[in-house]
Amino acid sequence: MKRHATVAAALALLACDKKSDGPGVSLEAAPAELAKAICPKAYTCCTPMQLMGNDLAGTTESSCEIKTAQGFKNNLEGLQGSIKKDRVRYDGVKMADCLVLIRSSSCEQLNRTNHFTGIGCPAYIEPLVAPGGACGADVECIEGTCGKAEGASEGVCKPLPRAGESCAGIRCAKGFLCNGGTKQCEPELAEGAACMGGGQCTSGNCASPDGGPPTCAPPTADKCFYSSACSYGRGQWSGGIGLVLLFGAALLVGRRRPTRGILPRREIPR
């Protein structure tokens, strides 16, 4: 009960004194609020060496907040047109939930991924365009990509490739990985499944701690959740961090750092 009361109080605090068109954290306030949640955790849980791969992390906690807020803000400006066309929905309550999750998580919980999108934030950016619908960007497409003719500003949402389909130059649908050798999508393996390399596993970790055959094991807490800044939000546009660029990537995900194994790591266009 005490924990629920604490979370409820935190959500109420985040929703107060913010210019908002709805409940939770407004779209306008979100960049600064995210920066104030992410950067203190990054400089507590990660080493300077781990943060060097992320330009938005800066060199100090204060510079991290400035760069991170600006990075999210820049990408939100591009999101406004999609929101006005009812192709994307922003959820301020889920953003508030995400901030609470970041602030309340331990370093061990956060550092099981090298991407902000991998920490498990609710999907505060929701794509609304089904396959076959008109789109202007990938972030607008539900589990898909926006296919455009060269030079065109508008395109059509099409599904992402799945098992047995080509992933050359495109990421696979959620739950599938791109085999770098065959250039075809194949299912990710759940924990406990036999594996030959971390790239096959949903967890990114293929191990044999007891000396037996290697299997997909839980993710290890030896990464830095803010060591990469190529995506934020649901995992296409995660958090989850699932927007495609920075903010909307809780929506693209390159969730884990490469691990050694026989099979190549998944390939995700940057």
Question: How many CB atoms lie under 10 A from the CB of residue 104?
Answer: 12
Question: How many CB atoms lie under 10 A from the CB of residue 63?
Answer: 13
Give the separation between CA 116 and CA 105, rounded to whole angstroms. 13
Give the separation between CA 221 and CA 38, rounded to whole angstroms. 17
Give the separation between CA 118 and CA 224, rounded to whole angstroms. 11
So what's the pLDDT on residue 247? 40
So what's the pLDDT on residue 230? 53
pLDDT tens, N- to C-terminus, the chain (270 residues): 444 444 444 433 333 333 334 579 999 999 999 999 999 999 999 999 999 989 999 999 999 999 999 998 988 777 889 999 999 999 999 999 999 999 999 999 999 988 888 898 988 999 999 999 999 999 999 988 999 999 999 999 999 999 999 999 888 998 899 988 899 999 999 999 999 988 888 888 899 878 889 999 998 999 999 998 654 433 333 333 334 333 433 333 333 333 333 333 333 333
Q: Could you tell me the pTM of the whole model?
A: 0.72
- What phi, psi does 6 have (nearest 5°)? -65, -45
Angle at 45 between CA 69 and CA 40, to 5 degrees: 35
